[in-house]
Amino acid sequence: MFGVPVNANIVYVSLIQTGCCKSEFDSTYPIHLNGIISQNEYRESIENINRATSSKKGIIICGILSTLCIIGGIVLFIVGIVTLKNSRSVGFSALFGVGIGVFILGAIIMPIGCCIIQIKRSTRIREAISKESMKYSTRSPTPCSWRLSVERINHSAYHNRRHATLLYQLAIEIGNSVPGGYPSAPHRSNQVGPQPSSSFFPSNPNNYPPPPYNQSSEGFCFQCGSPRQNPNSRFCSSCGQPFNKY
């Protein structure tokens, strides 16, 4: 079983129960990986990861030890009581105390062992997924990375009590998308836009634009640029500068 969230670049493969004390990642080929990872490669990678998820051996060992300790504790407890009764002694029997201790040890072996197995199992799964991810993270043209996704789910129970379970999923991220949706760089053009005309914002209202290149410079004052009103005049009517100075 697999799912695709809102982000279509990620495919989640669920961890399903396949037997007593046994769970594996679904080996059904997701159609979203078509053209990226072949079906044979996907099944081979899932099989390698599922080998790391197996914790049946550890659970069986913890169960056997816990059962033996509980049974042994009960036996020692009974033997201690019988011995104490037959001896008609008021004192405390050593077997009675040992039986209680062994019984308590057997009761706590199973939960502690399961916690240790769960931690080691998660470590093995992460290492196996990381090893498989290295095969596809540098593949072209479409790389993909594999990681373990762990989600805590809270369940409601009676009397407003809640208990949480951990949901393990295999997350396959397709491609190297830009995180955070960064915008692409704007297109740069070598064209220069039109410059604003200086006639709207003259620096000096008394200044006039320079004469055209093909026009004689004798018709304008070299000092202020004012046009020569009278061709026979020798001085500028605006600033008094003589025209024949230069």
Q: What is the pLDDT of residue 97?
A: 83
Q: What is the pLDDT of residue 8?
A: 57
Question: 3-state class of 133 per DSSP?
Answer: helix
Q: What is the total count of domains within the chain? A: 2
Q: What is the pLDDT of residue 146?
A: 92
Q: Say if residue 115 is in the same domain as residue 170.
A: yes
Contact assessment for residue 149 and residue 171, using Cβ atoms and an 8 Å cutoff: yes
Q: Say if residue 172 is in the same domain as residue 210.
A: no
Q: What is the pLDDT of residue 21?
A: 67
Longest dimension (CA), the chain: 154
Say how far apart CA 154 and CA 156 lie, in whole Å: 7
Q: What is the pLDDT of residue 40?
A: 92
Non-local (6+) Cβ contacts of 96 within 8 A are 76, 77, 80, 81, 84
Number of helices (H), then strands (E), in the chain: 3, 5
Range of the domain at 229: 206-246
Q: Say if residue 57 is in the same domain as residue 122.
A: yes
In a domain, 47, yes or no: yes
Non-local (6+) Cβ contacts of 195 within 8 A are none
Q: Say if residue 237 is in the same domain as residue 130.
A: no
Q: Say if residue 50 is in the same domain as residue 147.
A: yes
Residue type at 109 in one-letter notation:
I
Q: What letter would DSSP give residue 41?
A: H
Non-local (6+) Cβ contacts of 233 within 8 A are 243
In a domain, 184, yes or no: no
Q: Say if residue 123 is in the same domain as residue 213.
A: no
Question: Could you tell me the pTM of the whole model?
Answer: 0.55
Contact assessment for residue 195 and residue 209, using Cβ atoms and an 8 Å cutoff: no
User: Tens digit of pLDDT per residue, the chain (246 long)?
Assistant: 444 444 558 899 988 887 776 788 888 898 888 888 899 999 999 999 988 888 878 888 989 999 999 999 999 888 888 887 777 665 566 777 888 899 999 999 988 998 998 888 888 889 999 999 998 888 878 888 999 888 877 766 555 666 667 788 899 998 854 333 333 333 333 333 344 444 444 444 455 555 444 444 456 676 776 777 777 777 777 777 776 644
Stretch (H or E) spanning 129: helix 94-136
Q: Say if residue 132 is in the same domain as residue 231.
A: no
Contact assessment for residue 244 and residue 220, using Cβ atoms and an 8 Å cutoff: no
Non-local (6+) Cβ contacts of 117 within 8 A are 55, 58, 59, 62
Question: 3-state class of 102 per DSSP?
Answer: helix
DSSP lists the bridge partners of residue 19 as 22
Q: Say if residue 236 is in the same domain as residue 114.
A: no
Phi–psi pair at 162, nearest 5 degrees: -130, 145
Q: Say if residue 131 is in the same domain as residue 217.
A: no
Contact assessment for residue 129 and residue 161, using Cβ atoms and an 8 Å cutoff: no
Q: Say if residue 166 is in the same domain as residue 221.
A: no
Q: Say if residue 9 is in the same domain as residue 116.
A: yes
Q: Say if residue 245 is in the same domain as residue 172.
A: no
Counted residue by residue, the chain has a size of 246
